[in-house]
Amino acid sequence: MTHRIPTFHMSRRRLLAGSAALTVASLAGTSLFAQGAAQAGGDLVFLIDSLGPTWIPNNSSISSFQGHIWGHVTDKLVYVDGDGTATPWLAESWEQNETATEFTLKLKPGVTFSDGSPLDAAAVVANLDIWAAGRTEDGINPVGLFPKTYDHSEAVDPQTVKVVFKAPTLGFIPTLGYHGSILISPATIASPATEQADLGKTIASGPYVVDSWKEGDFVKLVRREDYNWGPAAVGHTGPAFLDSITYKLVAEQSLRVAAVQAGQADIAYNASPQELTSLRDEGFTTATPRYLGFVNGWAVNTQEAPLNDVKVRQALQVAIDRQEIIDTVYTPDWLLATSFMQGNVPGATDHGALLAYDASRAEALLDEAGWTKGADGLRVKDGVTLELVLHSNPYLTTSRAIDELIAQQLGRIGWRVVIRAYDVVTFGERVRFAGAGVPAYEVTRSFIDAGTVASILTDANKGENWFNLGESDPRINDLRDKIASAATHDVRTPLLDELQAYVLEQGYFIPRTQMVQRIYVQSPEVKDVVYNGVAYASYYRATKGSA
Amino acid sequence: MQGAYLNYAAKRLLQAVVVVLLTYVFTFVVVSILPGDPVTNVLRDPQNGFTEAEIAQIVAAQGLDKPIPVQLWNSLSGFLTGDLGVSLRSSRPVSDMIAEVLPSTLRLAGAAIAVALVLAMAIAYGARFLPHRYGGAALRALPSLFLSVPSFVIGLLLIHIFGFQLGLFMVIDPDSFWATFFAAVALGIPISAQIAEVLMANLDHEASQDYADVARARGLRQSRLFFRHLLKPSSLPVVTVIALMVGEVLGNTLITETVFGRTGVGSLIQRSVVTQDLPVLQAIVSLAALVFVVINLIADLIYPLLDPRVKLVGAAPRRVTTADELSGKVSA
């Protein structure tokens, strides 16, 4: 663990830079220089809108904010890139049995945590156990999307881990590259929650270590010089190049961008989509990577009138002009939805034709369903006006604007839309999947493996029952069982394709657009940033300089 | 008389304790009747993918499903024994979290009050003595202007002009001298307005008194008249105003700290309110109540130093407050 200056003062920056230069000079000839000194060095400042509630690794690893820090401080067993391809990282290789219930991981030798202890099979077992179960009585949650089918794991020898599941779990390997699956030292895992909450005490194996931090203020990371086990897929395995990365909280969106424009910081996180074009014109780099997961859209409550009528759901599916959403609310950086999964998910197939805007078809379907236009232009059936209640998703800032646009689009075909916008707490209390009075739940969720969909379709096996179908749709039940038990991708991919077509045809899921949840505005001096499968920016191999 | 003072002090102290305890219970009840709790709120983030059943299980494991009176008793008994507990949000000891943010806020609040005092005196002096053509009268309108512009607008203006345009400070280093100074200006301006208004009114009153005429007749310079003769009697109500302002300063630090990216008590309150982090909220609110009570007590004690008449118990015709509480005891 490196301890330099415990507090954060930019006025000391020169002093720090000076002493760092002296240190580097006196270390001339070390491995760092062998890598090419021209690239090394530089301090990166990343302005972020929040630093999350807690630093307990299990409770914070999937946070949109803290995930950035964990990505630099920790390693994972598997690397998953922006296209969902899983490649070896600290697990050099893996094997599975025919039913995908047993996996054997071979670990890379010589990997150590920053306190010098080895990252061996025993350490991996400790991590798998805490991801699966957490320590809830101590306030340490399980990792939400870790496979619930986990049974146990054991260290066969120091480099070999055997993992056993109660049922086929094809998604296990990709899950190891998911942001929740960060490797922490067994000593930290064993420590109580109050100690795990102190980020400075957490020991991990990543290319950076925490130099200093202050809650709700900043986290400063410094390079670990003996790091030598980066993921081969990013094309670099040695120590990182940048000397330090500082994540500084600036809550005000316009200030984050203005600070980057003024040259006071290198990256502004979560800028407004509408600003991106003009920022690019000014010479700044912008990035809108997609994560792997569901698109932004509605899970329809099929028991709630009038969406309990398949014709009405099908009308809704084609009554939305999705291109207009991108043109009005977003920029061309956002992509049209082609399924209910993001286009980059392995197994996602293109069903864009089912989602094409067709207002006249929507009107015909509504006429067939008995919803006829009244004098005021609104559709009525049995004295009831056709109405859709929307609850804007508070986790997505553009949600409300999209709801308003869709309200106009539906209004044109005689469909009244009521928009309810709640804060995060009220939303969590009142708006649930398939909840009474919630005809459409707006989804924004990432996953790493398409097999996750099996757990949301129905209420079997504690399923989330997104569409309130229960077990009423035999075709869905059948596809769910087959997808969950598929042992190979060759078997599963056609099943997923069938499921996507069926869910969209039935109007169970109404996609809006593909999801971009992380927007980066970056100084042109920063080069070689890598975005992984969950759209976090990695500065592991990044460099900074005007060259 | 000393006995009376001790009696008085004990009574005030008891009041302070009751106020703090009531604040504690009140905060607990208000936050408890709100829907949700910090643990559930975090777990419900759709990225987590927890089902409602799993969430209920985790919440129960942490004792958050117990009846409110039981939770209140547990929390209150901890508080009374000096244990502020552990944050529900971050799992860190509340005392550590407060100790971490307190210095920054004290610096900001102290600097803001200093800025406000200097500014208020300058305005009051100018309004009293500057000739009309140099804007003496216009200065009288300044407090109203200061009060009507929200402090975050002033803050954003200062950041854009002095931070981004002139490069005097870095947004990412809010604890530097200039960043603190401009944050203090943003926070101090609305406060200076209220002090200036009280000060101007009292200056006008004092300046029309006979002793001021006498002083002027002796040929005293304006500045000497202001600082040596008028300021002291005029500042008596100002002390009350400043004492009351402390609450406002604490409240306004929340906005100023957010705008300037400072991490202090204000931003801690904001995060705790948003996430319903009861232990932290209760500790801070109780602390604020304590500070408020103590400051007002100090203000009462300063009174006799500024106005000798307050000491003459029962004889002072123009006593403003508190001494009436004293008088009963002292005459006995």
- State which residues of chain A have pLDDT below 50: 1-38, 547
How many C-beta atoms lie closer than 10 Å to residue B64's C-beta? 15
State the nearest Cα–Cα gap between B263 and chain A, in angstroms.
6
Chain B residues touching A252 at Cβ < 8 A? 156, 258-259, 261
Between CA B288 and CA B285 the distance in angstroms is 5
Evaluate whether A221 touches A72 at the Cβ level (below 8 Å). yes
Q: Is A9 on the interface with B (CB under 8 A)?
A: yes
Tell me, what's the pLDDT at A25? 37
Pairing of the two strands A372-373 and A520-522: unpaired
E strand or H helix that includes residue A520: strand A520-522
Cross-strand bridge partners of residue A204: A184
Question: Are the beta carbons of B267 and A432 separated by less than 8 Å?
Answer: no
Could you say which of B41, B164, B261 has the minimum Cβ distance to residue A425?
B41
Backbone phi, psi, residue A153, to 5°: -140, 160
Chain B, nearest residue to A63 by Cα: B47
Question: CA of B152: which chain A residue's CA is closest?
Answer: A252
Where do we find the tokens 């809010």?
B174
- Do the bridges between strand A416-421 and strand A387-392 make them parallel or antiparallel, or are there none, so unpaired? parallel
Which residue, among B51, B47, B46, B56, has the nearest Cα to A462 in the 3D structure?
A: B51
Chain centroid offset of residue A436 CA: 28
Residue A402 backbone dihedrals phi, psi, to 5 degrees: -65, -40
Residue B41 contacts A, CB cutoff 8 Å: yes
Residue B234: per-residue pLDDT = 77
Parallel/antiparallel/unpaired status of strands A160-165 and A150-157: antiparallel
Predicted TM-score (pTM) of this structure: 0.81
- Smallest CA-to-CA distance from A222 within A58, A429, A383, A69 is with A69
Residue/partner pairs of B140-144 with CB below 8 Å, 24 or more apart: B140/B200, B142/B193, B142/B196, B143/B192, B143/B193, B143/B194, B143/B196, B143/B197, B143/B200, B144/B193
Question: Is residue A315 within 8 Å of residue A362, measured between CB atoms?
Answer: yes
The angle formed by the CA atoms of residues A42, A48 and A49, to the nearest 5 degrees, is 170
> Between chains, do B261 and A447 touch, taking CB under 8 Å as contact?
no
Question: How far is it, in rounded angstroms, from Cα B199 to Cα B212?
Answer: 16
DSSP letter at A534 equals T
Considering CB atoms only, which of A141, A251, A464 is closest to B58? Answer: A141
Longest alpha-carbon distance in chain B = 85
In this complex, the residue of A215, A258, A464 whose CB is nearest that of residue B100 is A215
Structural domains of chain B ordered from first start: 1-88+277-332 (no CATH), 98-275 (1.10.3720.10)
What residues have CB less than 8 Å from A121, skipping those under 6 apart?
A107, A155, A156, A157, A158, A159, A160, A161
Give residue B253's pLDDT: 85
Q: How far is B249 from chain A (nearest CA, A)?
A: 21
The ipTM (two decimal places) reads 0.72
Residue with tokens 């009861």: B278
B97 chain-A contacts, CB cut-off 8 A: 215
- Contact assessment for residue A338 and residue A351, using Cβ atoms and an 8 Å cutoff: yes
pLDDT digit string (tens) for chain B, length 332 residues: 566 667 777 777 787 788 888 888 888 888 887 777 777 777 777 667 777 777 888 788 777 778 888 888 888 888 888 888 888 888 889 999 999 999 999 899 999 999 999 998 888 888 877 777 776 777 888 888 888 888 888 888 998 888 888 888 887 788 888 989 999 999 999 888 888 888 888 888 887 788 878 887 887 777 777 777 777 777 777 777 877 787 778 778 888 888 888 888 888 888 888 778 888 888 888 888 888 878 877 777 677 666 666 654 443 444 444 444 444 443 33
Question: Does A446 touch chain B if contact means CB atoms closer than 8 Å?
Answer: yes
Give CA torsion, residues A114, A71, A144, A248, to 10 deg. 110
| Residues of B with Cβ-Cβ distance to A188 under 8 angstroms | none
Cβ-based burial of B230 (10 A; exposed 0-12, middle 13-18, buried ≥19): buried
B44: three-class secondary structure by DSSP: coil
SS3 annotation, A72-86: HHCCCCEEEECCCCE
Give me Rg for the CA atoms of chain A. 25
Beta bridge partners of B86: B93
Helix axes B236-260, B265-275, angle to 10 degrees: 60
Residue A15's pLDDT is 40
Residues in Cβ contact with A34 at an 8 Å cutoff, skipping those fewer than 6 apart: none
Q: How many residues are given for chain A? A: 547
Locate the chain B residue with the closest alpha carbon to A217: B263
Q: Judged by CB atoms within 8 Å, which residues 175-204 of B form the interface with A?
A: 175-176
Residue A498 is given by DSSP the state H
Q: A197–B91: do the CB atoms touch at under 8 Å? A: yes
In chain B, the residue whose alpha carbon lies closest to the alpha carbon of A426 is B35
The span from the CA of A239 to the CA of B259, in Å, is 37
CA of A234 vs chain B CAs: smallest distance (Å): 25
- Tell me chain B's radius of gyration from C-alpha atoms: 25
